[in-house]
Structure 1
Amino acid sequence: MDRFVVISGCSGGGKSTLLAELAPRGWTVVEEPGRRIVREEQAGEGAALPWIDAAAFARRAIAMALADREAAGRGEGWVLFDRGLVDAAAALEHATGEAALATLGRVHRYHRRVFLAPPWPEIFVNDPERPHGFEAARAEYERLVEAYAALDYAVTILPKVGVAARADFVLDALGPLPVER
């Protein structure tokens, strides 16, 4: 969908903070599937956590990203996704070697421009939903840069600036929603 925009990139790079800045400005945002899954798994006895069963986690993230896309399709205007299907497919490919990107990533497209938050050690912090270290986050970022480029997305790296300036950067880059014909 041409109105579905992905904010992806380095874990701990400020994606969720950026989307929290954009939501009160009137933008529809979709929370990262991974964080929702981790909370659900930690609330129960689940093992579909990236540090326990990366493949199960990625499969759940794929299902959730597909459901998010379907739900967002019923609305209007720009929709900003905190990660999405390409991220989940890349995680599954990394965990299992399955060719998930070639199938899912080409069929279920987002807006051609994708924004990637680069590794930014000055803001990276661990939390209960993100126990991995900065080097693991950097490696994930490199995989995502390659994945989005291989799927012919126009990758735009977010500047390392304050959250309000980052939000303005995204809004300026997107401009008004194109009129459907």
Structure 2
Amino acid sequence: MFTDRFHVITGGPGSGKSTLIDHLRGQGFTCLPEAGRGVIRDQAAIGGAGLPSGDAGLFAELMLSWDLRSHREAREGDGPAVFDRGVVDTIAYLRLSGRPVPEHLHRAADAFRYNRRVFVAPHWPEIYRRDTERRQSAAEAERTYLACLAAYADYGYEPVEIPRGGVAERAGFVAGLIGGR
């Protein structure tokens, strides 16, 4: 069952998702952080193996755990909640990596649902930048965007592309469809 008040923003890395979500947070929306960046930061800080460049399976499990916690945390609030990626993004990551998707991850994607409408930030080469946590090439970023689109569609979600433009314009588009603030 879809959860109307939980809204995912997904897409490839470097497409302006986090900037958009920060702007929405500033407008009073409850926003949940991206699992991948958090896991990378934590694993790098402790010299852990759960990194895309290390144990990709462990990295996926840590992202799943993070996303399940975020989902539970959002249930404690009221009003709309905006997620910087969701459980299905971990499935997209595994597919893109050529790794099998464990059955428990499919069960998680079915049990921990979001609003049927998923906001997708399109690949945007003009703003894409690498950093210490974002190491993918622009071509990999585009493949990630396409993998996210496919994975969410496979789980019955309806992708809504966020138009390119300034952050206030993009936030207005998303907020207008979410309502509640």
Where does structure 2 lack aligned partners over 5 or more consecutive residues? none
Within 5 A, what are the aligned runs for 1:1-181? Answer: 1-95=3-97, 96-100=99-103, 102-176=106-180
In 2: Cα distance, 1:51 partner to 1:134 partner: 17
> Aligned equivalents of 2:16 and 2:5: distance in 1?
22
Distance in 1, Cα, partners of 2:108 & 2:93: 12
Do 1:59 and 1:92's aligned partners in 2 also have CA atoms closer than 8 Å? no
Segments of structure 1 that go 5 or more residues without pairing to the other structure are none
- Provide Cα deviations, 1:69-105, integer angstroms capped at 9, x if missing partner: 0111111110000001110132234442125564222
Identity within the alignment, %: 40
1:33 CA drift (Å): 0.7
- Amino acid across the alignment from 2:87: L
Distance 1:54 1:117 in 2: 24
Q: Aligned to 2:132, what secondary structure does the other structure show? A: coil
Q: Deviations over 1:55-79 (max 9, x none)?
A: 1111100011001101111111100
C-alpha displacement at 1:43, in angstroms? 0.8
Paired with 1:176 and 1:29, the residues of 2 have a C-alpha distance of 13
Is the CA contact 2:39–2:63 (under 8 Å) kept in the aligned structure 1?
Answer: yes
CA contact (8 A) 1:62 1:89 kept: no
Aligned length, in residue pairs:
177
| Maintained 8 Å contact 2:79/2:180 | no
Bigger mean CA offset, 50-59 vs 122-131: 50-59
Give distance in 1, aligned partners of 2:177 and 2:7: 11
SS state of the match for residue 79, structure 2? coil
Query: What does the per-residue CA deviation read over 1:8-27, in whole Å, with 9 as the maximum and x for residues that have no partner?
Result: 00111000000111111110
The answer (yes or no) to whether the contact 1:32–1:81 under 8 Å persists in 2 is: yes
- Deviations along 1:111-136, one digit per CA (max 9) or x if unpaired, are 11100111100100001011111111
**In angstroms, what is the RMSD of aligned CA positions?**
1.5
